[in-house]
Structure 1
Amino acid sequence: MLDVTIEHDVPATMRDGVVLRADVYRPSAEGPWPVLLARLPYGKNQSLLAAVMDPVGKARRGFIVVVQDTRGRFASDGEWEPWTHETDDGYDTVRWAAALPGSNGSVGMYGPSYLGNTQWMAALAKPPELKAISPMVTWAEPDDGLFARGGAQELGITVPWSLMQGIDTLLRRHADDPMAQGQALMALVGDTDAVANSTYWELPAGRHPVFERHGIPELGFERSRREPEWSANCRVAGRQAEVDLPSLHSGGWYDIFCQGTLDNYTAMHAAGRTANLIMGPWSHTGTLGYLGDVNFGLAASTELLGFRGRFADVELRWLRQWLAPDDAESPQPELPPVLLFVMGINQWREEQEWPLARAVDTGLFLRAGNHLAFEAPDAGEGTDAFVYDPADPVPTTGGALLMSNEFPAGPFDQAEVEARPDVLAYTSDPLAEDLEVTGRVRAHLTAATDAPTTDWVVRLCDVDTQGVSRNIADGIVRAVATPGEFTEQVVDLWSTSYVFRAGHRIRVQVTSSNFPRWDRNLNTGDGLRSQAAHQEIAHDAARLSRIVLPVIPASAEGQA
């Protein structure tokens, strides 16, 4: 291991003259060294991120590591506006980092979430010195996980994320007036602390009063509705093939950007790029192997990765092969194209592709008597009904999410949710043998409402032999309706890899809210006036409702 020197607040001048500042970690020995770059809005000295990024450890292994505050954040100059400047600033910073003293001229980028998107934006700008990217838990389409999902706002992340980023904004704004600064911070912290009980509930959700109250930028949902073209500043979907670089995609089945990670890998692979995918039983911030109320085992964690070693070491070896191929460490087993953690049996599995070609789309049909069956219904099974009241929405209970601390991600007992009269629950007979579901899950509902607009929420659950129902995947679609007319509503539950064990039952929940993860549909379309909606789900021979599962045939399980 090498000794490390650190330079703080090293300036880099962008094309418009704005100065961004970075901490630069250098091996003390003579180079040249490959460069790793991370660009973030959370503060380059933020302790939790520093533990994830481990710049000292990476520098000790023979990399120059650059951790930069993005524009308008902490040590960097300029005005803070999420996403807006990351393409140009990313390009300029890569070129600057490649020219640092001691650099070998090759730059790789790494980091999770926002840091993953700064990698994509820089890569799309094509700086010649950028040789590889390793985005973790980041999205492809901002309207499918970041700003919105199925047409509903991702309120759960929008409010607390924007408020937390507002702290640095207010510190900078009132730097010359300590009294005003203290008052502004107290008001902001008050709204942040009250997010679960009051701030989430403020209306209109689509023009949330809390952001105007404090004069802070929001995550981007509101601006993207005013200026649809602006979303291109953080949209990767449809553009992955423009990036001719190796990429390592890492994500979690219970991460808010689960599907984006998969979509980015799939697009890069389809374009013929070198790409690898790792999907664990993780949330956005939880990678220890215990999530929600389920213990997936210590081998599920990023510390063991199925006894392949620490994820950080696996990632570093992967980056080194592209940034310093003639100076590689002792050979290590290569990553497979796809490394999946299969929940339920709690095993890592190597695959050659995603999605798995051997998966067979298999329908389970909603039936009368709250039954779920592989056989389609006969005539005369009719409909089930419930009333959705936006004043009393179904509370968020686990899932692939990132919210305030009152709403943790992961699998949780659904007993309280399923006891509500506004939640329909359809349950299969006990399974005679294990059933693996690996791939994208969708529900097709034949549904009607008496409202002009409403939401349909579907959740897939595993009911164990003790009768405990836990959430596996869910989704939402916001529908414009003709009152009383039955139409097909397709709900995308994203993807999973899960084995329902023999003796367990499969359950499907159908309802119209999951709050505050997604904003409430007020059933009126005007954003302020609320009314209850009478909902119907049909499940007879002429009006089928079903969930479609990508089932891995038993004879094919374990194939790679």
Structure 2
Amino acid sequence: MYQVSKEVATMKTRDGITLVADVYRPKTEEKLPILLMRQPYGREIASTVVYAHPRWYASQGYMVVIQDVRGCGDSGGEFHLFESEIDDGEDTLNWVTTLEGNTGAVGMYGFSYQGMTQIYGAISQHQALKTICPAMIASDLYAHWAYENGAFCYELNLAWAIQLGALRARLKEDFSAYKLLYLASRHLPVWDIPVSVEKALRKYAPFYYIWLNTPSKDDYWRRLSPQSYLDRIDLPMLHIGGWFDGYLRGSWNFYEQMRAKSAFQQSLIVGPWCHIPWGNSKGNLSYSQKANNNINEAQINWFNHYLKGINQDKKHSKNIKLFLMGDNKYINRKTLKKKKYTKFYLNSTGLANIRDDDGKLLSKNKNNSEDIIVTDFWRPTPSLGGHNSINAGSFERGELDQRTDILTYTSDYLTEKLTLIGDISLQLKVACNYSSFDISAVLSQVYPDGRVYNFSQGYIRVKEHQENIPIIFNLQPSAIALKKNTALRLSISGSAFPAYDLNKGDSKDAQTITLSIFCTEESFLKI
């Protein structure tokens, strides 16, 4: 391992804006490849909430550059979410290759915003950028980040906007607004955003209201979504995700898009992690030491291969590494595609919201009953864990499932292990007293003693429902081995607040929404 020094360096963008970076240099005379991270949170943080410190990466034999993006940290200009990252990314790649002592080969790493800046940088097709490791990103900014199946991801978006707004207010030395936003971040105002907080958000994090008010087909989303530029992206990539991360569907989709088109290796690692942190315990469950954060070592091996030529002859026949919950181990696969699906049909006597032993998941359809739930906006169904929550992960939800605004359908106890890997979808035949309504679906594992732990969920906002057409939507992909003598449960409700904003149908004054789920051959879970 190398001794490492640190210096501050600056560059100019094509429009004259100064961007500031920390450069970590190993003490050596040999020329080294560069690892680049571009981020908006202050370069001292450098994604250390999930990654090893840049000094560690530099000690492995790399020059590491951590840059404040435009309008953030010590960099000049104005910050507009994602909007400058394509051009600034290209300008930064031009600059880092002029730093003394580099080989001219660059790799990028980082998660979330720092994952997105990698993809924006790759759009330039800069010859120095040899590989990237995008973690927890959105290939479609609307569908994979801001919204899920048309429903606004309220809690995560609000918390993030308040954080970015507070950082901007502090940089602008508006300490009154900073204090307001900081206090709001400690006690997230999900029920009602105070006027003073809204004013500060509109000034320092205007993207939040842009996201709320911009239709899905607007060109705004197309311009900022990586999938709009796929024809300009082709690099070896190590994709990284978490089973309880709100952006997994973005990482999953982007991996599949790149795998289908790329001439280079595309690898995927998914651990039992939420957005922050990446570790072996989250929520009410522990996944053993095998679930420890292994990404730093994986990335160094990846960069050694693509930036230093180490183990270049090694074949990678199985490019997918998934953590299999339940068995608590990683498994390797060649593809995410399933060879076959299993269907579970919904069955009940009409009391699936009253008794947790009434609703059934069966291999064959047995009846044509109707289950009815009423969402009361005075006490909407609360969100608990899952992927679109600040407190994400797997939680014991046996008590929550007793609510009468939740339908539960449970399989028989398994006589042998059932392993679920990959995509999960739900088809429902429904009726509602409004043409617009929401459906929340949660998949859980049920133990004989009554404990219930969620492992996948999905949410959809239906805008103009036609009663004769079934509703179909995907849940979060997952990988779990359900043990013998446990059961599979599907929980359905009309809200999951505050993970998703409340939908009051066709009337802002609605107090309740009544939703019917029909247990017919058209209502089934597909795993």
TM-score bin (small chain): over 0.9
Deviations 1:117-167 (A, max 9, x none): 000011012122111001112222222331000101011111111111112
Q: Aligned partners of 1:476, 1:27: CA distance in 2, in Å?
A: 48
Q: Which residue of 2 aligns with 1:187?
A: 180
Task: Tell me if structure 1 keeps the 8 A contact 2:168–2:204.
Answer: no
Deviations 1:347-395 (A, max 9, x none): 211112223x43x21110110233333333345x320101112332111
Report deviation, 1:331: 9.4
Q: Secondary structure of the residue that 1:473 maps to in structure 2?
A: strand
Q: Which residue of 1 aligns with 2:205?
A: 216
Report deviation, 1:336: 3.9
Are residues 547 and 506 of structure 1, via their aligned partners in 2, closer, same or farther at CA, if it must alter by over 3 Å?
same
The structure 1 residue matched to 2:330, chosen from 348, 354, 362, is 348
The structure 2 residue matched to 1:522, chosen from 471, 489, 504, is 504
Within 5 A, what are the aligned runs for 1:170-249? Answer: 170-174=169-173, 181-195=174-188, 199-202=189-192, 209=198, 212=201, 215-219=204-208, 221-222=211-212, 224-225=214-215, 228-237=218-227, 239-240=229-230, 242-249=232-239
Q: Which residue of 1 aligns with 2:415?
A: 432
Q: Which residue of 1 aligns with 2:355?
A: none
Task: Tell me if 1:294 matches 2:251.
Answer: no
Task: Tell me if structure 2 keeps the 8 A contact 1:458–1:491.
Answer: no
Q: Which residue of 2 aligns with 1:442?
A: 425
Are residues 428 and 397 of structure 1, via their aligned partners in 2, closer, same or farther at CA, if it must alter by over 3 Å?
same
Task: Tell me if 1:377 matches 2:365.
Answer: yes
Task: Tell me if structure 2 keeps the 8 A contact 1:35–1:64.
Answer: yes
Q: Which residue of 1 aligns with 2:2?
A: 2
Task: Tell me if structure 1 keeps the 8 A contact 2:20–2:68.
Answer: yes
Q: Which residue of 1 aligns with 2:129?
A: 130
Q: Which residue of 2 aligns with 1:488?
A: 470
Q: Aligned partners of 1:466, 1:239: CA distance in 2, in Å?
A: 51
Q: Aligned partners of 2:61, 2:6: CA distance in 1, in Å?
A: 14
Report deviation, 1:540: 3.0
Deviations 1:196-251 (A, max 9, x none): xxx2123799xx94655654333562364499212234312354453221000111
Q: Which residue of 1 aligns with 2:520?
A: 540
Q: Aligned Cα RMSD in Å?
A: 2.4
The structure 2 residue matched to 1:395, chosen from 368, 382, 396, is 382
Q: Secondary structure of the residue that 2:58 maps to in structure 1?
A: helix
Are residues 56 and 223 of structure 1, via their aligned partners in 2, closer, same or farther at CA, if it must alter by over 3 Å?
farther
Q: Which residue of 2 aligns with 1:177?
A: none
Task: Tell me if structure 2 keeps the 8 A contact 1:249–1:265.
Answer: yes
Are residues 462 and 51 of structure 1, via their aligned partners in 2, closer, same or farther at CA, if it must alter by over 3 Å?
closer
Q: Counterpart of 1:377 in structure 2: which amino acid?
A: N
Q: Which residue of 1 aligns with 2:163?
A: 164
Q: Secondary structure of the residue that 1:361 maps to in structure 2?
A: coil
Q: Aligned partners of 1:237, 1:43: CA distance in 2, in Å?
A: 28
Report deviation, 1:531: 3.0
Are residues 482 and 130 of structure 1, via their aligned partners in 2, closer, same or farther at CA, if it must alter by over 3 Å?
closer
Q: Aligned partners of 2:70, 2:18: CA distance in 1, in Å?
A: 8
The structure 1 residue matched to 2:487, chosen from 498, 505, 510, is 505
Task: Tell me if 1:324 matches 2:308.
Answer: yes
Are residues 410 and 122 of structure 1, via their aligned partners in 2, closer, same or farther at CA, if it must alter by over 3 Å?
same
Deviations 1:325-353 (A, max 9, x none): 2xx38998969411111111112111122
Q: Secondary structure of the residue that 1:437 maps to in structure 2?
A: strand
Report deviation, 1:72: 0.3
Deviations 1:82-121 (A, max 9, x none): 1111111111111111121111111110011110000001
Deviations 1:27-54 (A, max 9, x none): 1211311011000001101276277252
Task: Tell me if structure 2 keeps the 8 A contact 1:82–1:217.
Answer: no
Q: Aligned partners of 1:227, 1:15: CA distance in 2, in Å?
A: 31
Q: Counterpart of 1:293 in structure 2: which amino acid?
A: N
Q: Counterpart of 2:361 in structure 1: which amino acid?
A: A
Task: Tell me if structure 1 keeps the 8 A contact 2:23–2:65.
Answer: yes
Q: Aligned partners of 1:232, 1:83: CA distance in 2, in Å?
A: 12
Within 5 A, what are the aligned runs for 1:253-292? Answer: 253-272=243-262, 273-292=264-283
Are residues 214 and 377 of structure 1, via their aligned partners in 2, closer, same or farther at CA, if it must alter by over 3 Å?
same
Within 5 A, what are the aligned runs for 1:352-363? Answer: 352-355=334-337, 357-358=338-339, 360-363=340-343
Q: Counterpart of 2:307 in structure 1: which amino acid?
A: L
Task: Tell me if 1:312 matches 2:304.
Answer: no
Moved more, 160-169 or 84-93: 160-169
Moved more, 65-74 or 135-144: 135-144
Q: Aligned partners of 2:477, 2:50: CA distance in 1, in Å?
A: 29
Are residues 335 and 224 of structure 1, via their aligned partners in 2, closer, same or farther at CA, if it must alter by over 3 Å?
farther
Are residues 518 and 456 of structure 1, via their aligned partners in 2, closer, same or farther at CA, if it must alter by over 3 Å?
same
Q: Which residue of 1 aligns with 2:70?
A: 71
Task: Tell me if structure 2 keeps the 8 A contact 1:448–1:487.
Answer: no
Q: Which residue of 2 aligns with 1:178?
A: none
Report deviation, 1:460: 0.9
Q: Aligned partners of 1:402, 1:434: CA distance in 2, in Å?
A: 29
The structure 1 residue matched to 2:393, chosen from 410, 422, 447, is 410
Q: Secondary structure of the residue that 1:104 maps to in structure 2?
A: strand
Q: Secondary structure of the residue that 2:145 maps to in structure 1?
A: coil
Q: Counterpart of 1:547 in structure 2: which amino acid?
A: L
- Counting matched residue pairs gives 516
Q: Secondary structure of the residue that 1:237 maps to in structure 2?
A: helix
Q: Aligned partners of 1:536, 1:204: CA distance in 2, in Å?
A: 36
Q: Which residue of 2 aligns with 1:305?
A: none
Q: Aligned partners of 1:236, 1:386: CA distance in 2, in Å?
A: 39
Q: Aligned partners of 1:371, 1:283: CA distance in 2, in Å?
A: 30
Q: Secondary structure of the residue that 2:190 maps to in structure 1?
A: helix
Q: Counterpart of 1:57 in structure 2: which amino acid?
A: W
Q: Counterpart of 2:297 in structure 1: which amino acid?
A: D
Q: Which residue of 2 aligns with 1:555?
A: none
Q: Aligned partners of 1:349, 1:40: CA distance in 2, in Å?
A: 32
Task: Tell me if structure 2 keeps the 8 A contact 1:446–1:487.
Answer: yes
The structure 2 residue matched to 1:457, chosen from 433, 436, 440, is 440
Q: Which residue of 2 aligns with 1:557?
A: none
Q: Aligned partners of 1:228, 1:209: CA distance in 2, in Å?
A: 24
| Consecutive unaligned residues in structure 1, runs of 5 or more | 175-180, 303-309, 550-560
Q: Secondary structure of the residue that 1:523 maps to in structure 2?
A: coil
Q: Which residue of 1 aligns with 2:26?
A: 27
Are residues 115 and 247 of structure 1, via their aligned partners in 2, closer, same or farther at CA, if it must alter by over 3 Å?
same
Are residues 150 and 298 of structure 1, via their aligned partners in 2, closer, same or farther at CA, if it must alter by over 3 Å?
same
